[in-house]
Every structure is written in structure tokens, then in C-alpha cells.
A and B are shown apart, each in its own frame.
Chain A
């Protein structure tokens, strides 16, 4: 039988606020356990939550960026369940009236095709703490520093039909929340968490199959693998005459499989009700317009501008705009260099990206800054440096030897562009190979390649190749 995969994603983006969503505790990552958890975060009786304005602003930013409905009135609700890292016995979340309602996300696939994914909703909620199951004398350790950290849960419609589409959508949201400065996107630290609702159905069937929710996916690569595993597992179950059980499954990257998380079977009855501790959130038009006015250029707009304004290919523009920092780096380097955009693009995606990958650094920590790269590109553009010498200068800059001009000066790497000097090199080289010169002059064109090689060698890569070639031709033909 032909099966069709149906995927919807729930993405939890940790909002980049300084303090928690309902208290003045710090949200900084990596602090000593429980040093950033106050009475509100601990759910002490008598404490009351007060909503963080910045969390609201960031949620609205997201809604406006994707042209979703931003509800002028939204409600907080209690989601009730018992777990030791949830001290109150309920999570403050939103149910009936989330801050962001219907929207659409436009996703570009690797092959250039487009896909529109519906956004069901995006709501504000508080994060839970962390349970540490390592051995504390057969006890579980609880760190509540994360409890109360603001999250925006972004829920998609079940619109994706393959793991690849799901990954492309998740990457689009990831890029967007980082562009908007609302989430640092760090998947390893859990500030961007993706859960996948996966089901399969016979191709052509209108009803959805029973879904399983796959959690614990901390990279895009694992997301793709976890979904593919889950799809195969469900097809095997169905083809073996069984039925898929609605459940939560954890992905295990070491074994590349998903496993049932039995303990939560009963927990799906959350008994939501409006939180009496919090009043409805009402947003004024002036506030919403001020957030709209502050929206930065978004990835897709930037990409289009790069194609139109810099005449870059869609492929190049895609790579350069994947991260806002990379796009800024490219534009800054270009501004300093005043060179062809394509030259700057090639260097950013080539030498710079390769060096960063090798060193395990991101663009913000590149030892070669955009200004420094711009300085180097300017010397390529004005013919001071050949491509080969430029790479040498780049390596020296990377090693911290200074900016391009200082290195060119210090190492004497300046490309020779003086006609007379080039002619002298050519003449000296030709003088060593009179036989070959004679052969060429008698009509043996093949020997030209050999002579070019010898002249290049004599110039030690420092002479401008185009000029060198021209002078050589001129000498041989005269």
C-alpha cells in the first residue's frame, strides 16, 4: 500500500527576556541550581504572577512578522498536571484565546520549490524546571532555575508531508525567531525545542491516522531521522495488522529510534481553566503599530533584496541570509571593499565559512571581522593581490597578524602590476629557454603552455596573471 506521512510541529522558542515571564528572577543560562528561582517560580502560597511586558512584545513581534492574527485580547489558563519540576501543579499557558492565532509560514525547500504551512496558533507559557535523574541515592534532583522562563509555543497545522518538509519549516521558524531577536535558537541548550506530531494514512484517505508525538530532538538532523524512523515504525505496525497508539515517544539519537514514554499516558487530561491570578491581556492598536514599526528586515525580504540589488543567485542569497549575522557580515565587508558583490559572496561562503567550520566558530566570533575581509577584498578588486596571494593574506589575518594592508606590506605580497617589472620577469624567463621560444616561433603552439608555466614560476605568483599573459604573448609574437 502507498502511505502518506502527515506531520505537524510544536516548537517551543524560549523568549530572549532578562527576567522570567511572571517574576523578576533572572533567566540567564548555566547558573548554580535554584539560585534563580524565587517564591513565584516555586509556587509558594500567596505569591502572584505579574506578566513581563517584553515577553508580550516578543510574541506580538512574531505574530506580526508572519502576518498572523494578533489577538487584541488573550487569556492565560492553567494546564494541570503533576510532575516534580512543575511546583505549582499547573503550568500557566494559553488555551482558548492565545496571543497569536491563525497565520501562514512560507517555506522554501532545498530544491527551490515553495510550501505554505498553516500556523494554528502561537501562545505564551512558562517553562518547567529540570529533573536530573542521575543517582541521588535513588532520588531525583530538581533544578527550578528554568521554571517560569517565557516560551512561545508555535503550533503548525498538520501540513507537512515528509521529514524534509518538516525540517525546512523548522529551519524557517528558527531563522525567523533569530532575525527577530526573540530567541537565541540554541537547540543544544534547549532554547529552541521541536516536537513532531507524526502519523501516516493510506494515500488518498481524507482522515488522519492516529498520531504519535516525538520529543527530545535537539538538532535538525535528528528531527529528520526521528520522523523517518517514526514513519517506518508506524507503517510496520499498520502493515502487520496492528494499530498505532496515541502516545509520546522519545527519540534516542544513539540508537536512532523512538521509544514510548509510558508514564505520560494518563496525563493528557489537563483540565484547562482560566487562571484567576491573571487578568485578560489587552493590546492597544498604538502598541501593536509600534511593534510593527520596529520589525527588522525578514529573511525572505533580505533574500529577495540580495538577488535584486546585488545580482546574486537565489542559491547564494539563500546561504547568505540564513542567519542575520552572516548577512550583516557580508554587507559590511562589501561596503568596506566596494567590490563586486559576487566576489564578496564567494569569499564569505568560501574561505570564511570553511575556516569557521574548521575552527567550530560562528560568524560573530570570526577572528577575521567584516571590516578586515572588506580590506582584503579591496586589494583583490584593485589588483594588488592575486587570488592565490589573497588566500595567503586571509590565513595570516585569521592567525591574528593584522589587517590585509599590514600583512601585504610586511610579507611583501604585493602583486606586481608594473608593466616594466613584468616585462623584465618575462624576458629573464624566456632567456633561459631559447629552444622552446624558437619552437613556438616556428609554429609549435603547444609549447606556449610550457612557457606560461615557466614565466609564472619565475614570478612566484606575484605578478598579475592577465598582464603576465599579455606581455608573454607580445614578446613571443614580436
Chain B
């Protein structure tokens, strides 16, 4: 198994996902299965093949540098649980 239960817990924490301890073993197996497939594909010689960054064979379109967005603070902050003086309020972050 290429992914250990400890790694599953770490990845879940980094992604801020809450998972039930009973499920950890199963996730470890599932994820290992995926990585085993990747390991299998890694055996293919891809010398000279450019890595694919995007499934669409197109390049990025650019927009002109223009300010097009009006102030919509009131509308956008309607969804926020707490605001004050125009700021979004979140639980205290201590540095």
C-alpha cells in the first residue's frame, strides 16, 4: 500500500476535511489503488512528450487591462455571517 493511514490523516487535515476514523483504512486503500495505477502508467516511456497542462488544446485568451467591475460590496456581503466597517469578520487568526 503506497499511502499509509497517517498520510491520509495528514492530507485530510491539509484540505481541512473531516473524516471518520473508521473510514481512514478504506481511504488509504482507495488512494493507494489510484497511486498504484499512476505508478503503472509511470512505466511508459514518455520521452519527448510535452506534459499536458490542460485537456483543451488551446491557449489562454487575455483581457485588456480595464476596470469593468463596479463596487458591489453591499450585495456581496449579504452572504457574510459577520461584517463591520465594510470588513468581513472571521474567527480571530493569531500569528
CA distance A52 to B61 in the complex (A): 9
Give the dominant DSSP class at A's interface.
loop
* 11 pairs, A vs B, C-beta closer than 8 Å: A24-B67, A25-B67, A35-B73, A37-B73, A51-B62, A52-B63, A52-B65, A261-B95, A263-B94, A266-B13, A281-B59
Contact A142 B60 (CB under 8 A): no
Given contacts A34-B87, A132-B87, A269-B14, contact A53 B92 (CB under 8 A): no
B64 at interface (Cβ–Cβ under 8 A)? yes
Contact A19 B68 (CB under 8 A): yes
For B69, the chain A residues whose CB sits under 8 A away are 19, 23-26, 36, 38
A237-279 interface (Cβ within 8 A of B): 250, 261, 263, 266, 269, 271, 274, 276, 278-279
B76 at interface (Cβ–Cβ under 8 A)? yes
Contact A32 B14 (CB under 8 A): no
A84 at interface (Cβ–Cβ under 8 A)? yes
Give 8 closest A-B pairs by Cβ, nearest first.
Answer: A24-B68, A141-B87, A54-B65, A53-B62, A282-B59, A33-B86, A279-B60, A139-B89
Name the CB-closest residue of A to B70. Answer: A38
A188 at interface (Cβ–Cβ under 8 A)? no
CA distance A271 to B89 in the complex (A): 28
Q: Determine, out of B18-26, B30-38, B50-58, the stretch whose residues face the partner at the interface.
A: B50-58
B93 at interface (Cβ–Cβ under 8 A)? yes
B82 at interface (Cβ–Cβ under 8 A)? yes
For B15, the chain A residues whose CB sits under 8 A away are 80
A82 at interface (Cβ–Cβ under 8 A)? yes
CA distance A51 to B61 in the complex (A): 7
Given contacts A35-B71, A280-B59, contact A140 B64 (CB under 8 A): no
- B64, chain A: closest CB distance, angstroms: 6
For A36, the chain B residues whose CB sits under 8 A away are 69, 71
For A75, the chain B residues whose CB sits under 8 A away are 53
Known: A33-B86, A38-B76, A52-B65. 11 other contacts (CB 8 A): A19-B67, A24-B67, A24-B68, A34-B88, A36-B71, A37-B73, A39-B76, A54-B64, A96-B51, A140-B90, A263-B95
For A450, the chain B residues whose CB sits under 8 A away are none
- B21, chain A: closest CB distance, angstroms: 20
CA distance A24 to B70 in the complex (A): 9
CA distance A138 to B84 in the complex (A): 13
Q: Provide the A79-90 mask, 1 if CB < 8 A to any CB of B, else 0.
A: 010111000000
A331 at interface (Cβ–Cβ under 8 A)? no
Give the number of chain B interface residues (Cβ < 8 Å): 39
Contact B54 A276 (CB under 8 A): yes
CA distance A159 to B79 in the complex (A): 49
Contact B86 A35 (CB under 8 A): yes
For B43, the chain A residues whose CB sits under 8 A away are none
For B91, the chain A residues whose CB sits under 8 A away are 139-140
Contact B77 A19 (CB under 8 A): no
CA distance A24 to B94 in the complex (A): 32
Given contacts A24-B66, A38-B69, A39-B76, contact A143 B95 (CB under 8 A): no
Contact B93 A84 (CB under 8 A): yes
- B11, chain A: closest CB distance, angstroms: 8
Contact A34 B76 (CB under 8 A): yes
CA distance A96 to B13 in the complex (A): 25
- B61, chain A: closest CB distance, angstroms: 7
Contact B86 A34 (CB under 8 A): yes
A366 at interface (Cβ–Cβ under 8 A)? no
- Sorting the interface of chain A by its residue count into under 10, 10 to 19, 20 to 34 or 35 or more gives 35 or more
User: Chain A interface (Cβ within 8 Å of chain B)?
Assistant: 17-19, 23-26, 32-39, 42, 50-56, 75, 80, 82-84, 96-97, 131-133, 136-144, 250, 261, 263, 266, 269, 271, 274, 276, 278-282
From the candidates B14, B61, B86, name the one contacting A80 in the complex (CB within 8 A): B14
Contact A133 B95 (CB under 8 A): yes
For A276, the chain B residues whose CB sits under 8 A away are 54
Name the CB-closest residue of A to B51. Answer: A96
For A281, the chain B residues whose CB sits under 8 A away are 59-60
CA distance A139 to B82 in the complex (A): 10
CA distance A56 to B90 in the complex (A): 34
Given contacts A26-B69, A274-B54, contact A131 B93 (CB under 8 A): yes
Contact A279 B86 (CB under 8 A): no
For A26, the chain B residues whose CB sits under 8 A away are 67, 69
Contact A140 B60 (CB under 8 A): no
- A47, chain B: closest CB distance, angstroms: 11
For B76, the chain A residues whose CB sits under 8 A away are 34, 37-39, 42
Contact A141 B54 (CB under 8 A): no
From the candidates B14, B58, B66, B89, name the one contacting A140 in the complex (CB within 8 A): B89
Contact A279 B88 (CB under 8 A): no
B85 at interface (Cβ–Cβ under 8 A)? yes
- B73, chain A: closest CB distance, angstroms: 5
- B87, chain A: closest CB distance, angstroms: 4
Contact B90 A18 (CB under 8 A): no
For B53, the chain A residues whose CB sits under 8 A away are 75, 97, 274, 279-280
